[in-house]
Chains A and B, each alone.
Chain A
């Protein structure tokens, strides 16, 4: 399909990302909890977020700060003053039947505008270090705006036609949402996928959201072919579906063009079950949002020092971390990228360094051993769309540090070290403990092995006689010992001791 596309019309894809600021304590305009996920229906509401008559929005200071951090990460301009607008449309999940948002048509009101971000594209595998891996794409950001999430509508029956009514839960209503609108700078579904992966990671670095929470990062897509009309796809539940929906939409539009049918500018919904996009409403209808300045929220003066103040509190971003890993730690670019591409892996790495400061050795253990394990688990389909596998392994940073230290300082054989590391990951015991146990059994336990042998010979005295004609008896006894000790005995030593015991008797 991609190749056909190359010979055919230019493909332009733009994104509209919605990121819930889940790391806030309270909603955007009231002091209900930002974390609505643990409440029973409509419990996490108050007069403000239910839009009761007479209530007024009270803007969350930290939400403005978080949104501005996102703007900084996307290299957007941040104006000295921001303001809010009402987007008027009716819908049962919208308590006021308008959404408080930002809007730039009449003035520059949004928290961020005109940014751009480069994305690397994820390294394909640890063996692939080819140059195209390094290629960076640039996406322009039109604007970043702060707005409120609506509530949620559910049904008792799956098939919507069967239901006589819907069920509305306003717990989510009023939760802070940051909308990021890109220019149509993506030219393939794959680029979108890699971009999204990186962006989610970026949000995590910023500490504004927990992407593993269902629905915390959502994405609408617009697709146009050959300079034609823009079609918007909404209602896409996960990032995997984003890619699928784009592929579908490309095929649909191509088919239309092939049959000389005009592509309409419209909004379509992604039907996840049927894997098709369906027409939702025409552009004409949706342009009637009757935007106007929200009279209940004054224009907010951020002031000239705002940006520098927030920037000073900005956590280290992936791109900065990458630089530090390669420049200061001298880790290879390839390995460093793998580390920073997942904040949790990168944090794990940093934590390991606290136990043993050997960045190269530790990074190798993480990238070559630990991540391989995680990828295996991933392939088994254990992990969820946004969640990485680290949670599923009970590995501690100290364990990795210990293995690295054993190899580097005690010149432990790498193969043995790998075995120990594997055991350590499986059992959760520290590598040092494992080594200790191994050594205790190997060296100091001859006496107890002899005791086990004696016990066996006492209960089966015929073995002594048989052994004189049958050399297999030694192996038989060894088997019994191994069974008894669950294989913890060094077989060479045991063999020697069995022979001695049999001969002595």
Chain B
């Protein structure tokens, strides 16, 4: 199975200190072993297509109409706004790309 924990960390953008790698790696393996229980299950004899059965459905007609929200002046309320952190001239400060 060969889980490369460092590659996984890079993929998930998680920094894990070197001294903890072994421990977390062990835990990941332990849980994946538990996941292997799924391999014992065979779908033979059942007719079920991938993820179909439990997905909620909604009729197209019940989707949101393309209507902009009322402006603050007309609604008379102030829309709660998030105070974005680290802004400059309204822009959010980002790291170098």
A binds B: yes
Binding site for B on A (CB under 8 A): 24-26, 31-33, 40-43, 46-47, 50, 52, 58-64, 81, 83, 90, 92, 106-107, 153-154, 160, 163-170, 288, 290, 293, 298-303, 306
Question: Do residues A41 and B63 form an inter-chain contact, with CB atoms below 8 A?
Answer: no
B66 touches A60 (CB 8 A): yes
Q: Which of B51, B52, B96 contacts A163 (CB 8 A)?
A: B96
On whether the beta carbons of A26 and B68 are closer than 8 Å, the reply is: yes
B11 adjacent to A41 (CB under 8 Å): no
Q: How far is the CB of B6 from chain A (nearest CB, A)?
A: 14
In the assembled complex, the Cα of A115 lies from the Cα of B95 at a distance in Å of 41
Closest to B49 in A: A107
Contact, CB under 8 Å: A33 / B68: yes
Q: With A52-B82, A63-B66 in contact, is A298–B51 under 8 Å at CB?
A: no
B interface, size bucket: 20 to 34
Mark contacts of B53-83 with chain A using CB atoms, 8 A cut-off: 1 yes-contact digit, 0 otherwise.
Answer: 0011111110111111100000000010010
User: Contacts of B39 on A, CB cut-off 8 Å?
Assistant: none
Q: Is the CB of A42 within 8 A of B60?
A: no
Q: Nearest chain A CB to B47's CB is how many angstroms away?
A: 15
Choose among B13, B50, B58, B63 the residue with the greatest number of A CB atoms under 10 Å from its CB.
Answer: B63
Say yes or no: B93 contacts A167, CB within 8 Å: yes
Q: How far is the CA of A40 from the CA of B90 in the complex (A)?
A: 7
A-contact bits for B1-23, CB 8 A (1 contact / 0 none): 00000000001010000000000
* In the assembled complex, B38 has its CB within 8 A of some CB on chain A: no
Q: State whether A31 touches B68 (Cβ < 8 A).
A: yes
The reply to whether the CB of B84 lies closer than 8 angstroms to some CB of chain A is: yes
- B54 CB to nearest A CB, Å: 10
Given A160-B97, A166-B95: A26 touches B66 (CB 8 Å cut-off): yes
A-B contact pairs, 29 of them (CB 8 A): A24-B66, A25-B66, A26-B66, A26-B67, A26-B68, A41-B90, A42-B90, A43-B90, A59-B63, A61-B63, A92-B95, A106-B51, A153-B94, A160-B97, A164-B96, A165-B93, A166-B96, A167-B91, A167-B92, A167-B93, A167-B94, A298-B55, A298-B58, A299-B56, A299-B57, A300-B58, A300-B59, A300-B63, A303-B59
Q: Tell me whether A81 and B57 are in contact (CB under 8 A).
A: yes
Contact A303 B66, beta carbon cutoff 8 Å: no
